[in-house]
């Protein structure tokens, strides 16, 4: 009987661990809140303008994709998603700077190659240990 109880406990534990790691929750979070955060001031380049779901200027390189992930261990889904979002935006800005562009336009969420255009929200997927944001945008002058 003792061996049977341990087996049941072990199966239940493994089921919980598997379910936690398989989680893939879709969150739609506010762009402006992330861009106005203290973390954004530290990591984003104020000299590269950002345009979400709209264009501005002459496109010099189209369809750049970034897919940033971060650990969500010990963080809320929202905090982990915000960090992944800022990392993705920063990467787009770095690509703009290295290509002598001053803007990143037409920025859309691009999870699993599915575009979601919004001027207000970005898409993030949060799991048991990882949160990720994929963005696609164009570099412009």
pLDDT in tens, 10-37: 555 454 444 445 799 999 999 999 999 9
32 C-beta neighbours (distance < 10 Å), count: 11
Whole-angstrom Cα distance, residue 35 to residue 116? 18
Band of pLDDT at residue 3, cut at 50, 70 and 90? low
pLDDT tens, residue by residue, 66-83: 999 999 999 999 999 999
Ranking 9-13, 71-75, 95-99, 108-112 by mean pLDDT, the lowest is: 9-13
Position 113 pLDDT exceeds 60: yes
Q: Which pLDDT value is given to residue 22?
A: 78
C-alpha to C-alpha distance for 27 and 6, rounded to whole angstroms: 37
Q: Is the pLDDT of residue 123 over 70?
A: yes
**Which two tokens mark 63?**
């369809």
DSSP 64: E
Task: Residue 54: count other Cβ atoms within 10 Å of its Cβ.
Answer: 10
**According to the model, what pLDDT value does residue 13 have?**
47
Mean pLDDT of the chain: 90
Q: Is the torsion defined by CA of 90, 28, 141, 138 positive or negative?
A: positive
């Amino acid at each position: 009987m003792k061996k049977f109880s341990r087996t049941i406990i072990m199966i239940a534990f493994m089921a919980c661990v598997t379910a936690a790691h398989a989680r893939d929750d879709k969150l739609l979070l506010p762009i402006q809140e992330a861009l106005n955060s203290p973390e954004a001031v530290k990591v984003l380049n104020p000299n590269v303008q950002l345009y979400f779901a709209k264009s501005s200027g002459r496109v010099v390189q189209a369809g750049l994709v970034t897919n940033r992930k971060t650990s969500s261990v010990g963080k809320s889904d929202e905090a982990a998603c915000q960090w992944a979002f800022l990392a993705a935006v920063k990467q787009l800005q770095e690509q703009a700077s290295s290509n002598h562009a001053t803007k990143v336009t037409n920025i859309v969420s691009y999870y699993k190659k599915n575009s979601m255009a919004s001027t207000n929200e970005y898409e993030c997927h949060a799991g048991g240990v990882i949160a990720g944001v994929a963005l696609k945008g164009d570099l412009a002058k």
